[in-house]
Structure 1
Amino acid sequence: IYQFHQRNGFACVLLSDALELVQFLFVVAFSTFLLCCVDYDVLFATRPLNHSHVPERAKVTLPDAMLPAPQCARRLRGSGWLLFLLVLAGAVWLCRLVTALRRLVGYWEIRSFYIRALGIPAEELCNHSWQSVQARLLALQRRQPLCVPRRELTELDIHHRILRF
């Protein structure tokens, strides 16, 4: 409940998790590109460019050092270690996807709890402080018990439960 509030609701959680997955893919893809598709001898000017004309500028840029796509693919296929790491990265990404989907199901249930039990619509979550949510939890505990061991729930009990996770 606390994480849901701190992460500003379901839409923000969904967007954050989706962008984390995209970020992981980008890092893996860009790293692979830099390893396989860039001629660093050309980039660091230890070998001249194979241009037939005189260059207008003396500075070498990344597009000047990029290898053609077939050569890039050949370098990728030729590196067994890199292929292994890409398969491993794919497995890690799939695990992160499954974890994110499982967390989203839990956050959807918490969203329903906020709406039905606490009476806080999703659009108004950003207008409620944690103290306000906590006060509603305490009032709900008085109306219908949420936890079995104690009849009266206190703010300290809520903090202890948050710190356990």
Structure 2
Amino acid sequence: MSFLRVVKGTNVYIDANIFLYVAFKQKYMEDCRDFLKKINNKELMGFVSIVVLDEVLFKLIQAEASVKFNMPLNSTVQFLKMNPGKIHELKTCWHALNKILSMNITVLDTPMDFNLVMNICREYKLLTRDALHVSVMRTHGITQIATNDGDFKRVPEISVLTPS
């Protein structure tokens, strides 16, 4: 279902790709921006975990470093590890993440029991990161996820809300 048709007041877990479409001005940028406005205006209740924020910030750091230091995206991690002082020169990534943190989004704790994550991996054939998202949702009683990742459709108790 398109996440632009979600009923007002719905609790929605937001996957990293929704923020990244906006940040990188990609294909679904407008739909994702409109969706995030609904979250910010409290028409929908938005939730993320530290894992989502980590994914977003990591991609933003890579993208900014690639442009700023004129290198391929896949070289940025090694470059920044070898030149940690260069992280201080990055600005856009921190600003973008602070914008996310200033929104009406609740940051949820991750479950302490990693067995839950492993069980979800095996049961629904998900990679660990996606299984961790499902475990956070399950722990907090959230059944809707805004994402463009079709793997979540394998989890029957989750409704996947996608950009149009």
Fold shared, TM-score > 0.5 on shorter chain:
no
With structure 1 as the length reference, what TM-score do the two structures score? 0.26
Higher relative contact order (CA 8 A, sep 6+): 2
Higher share of residues assigned helix: 1
Larger Rg: 1
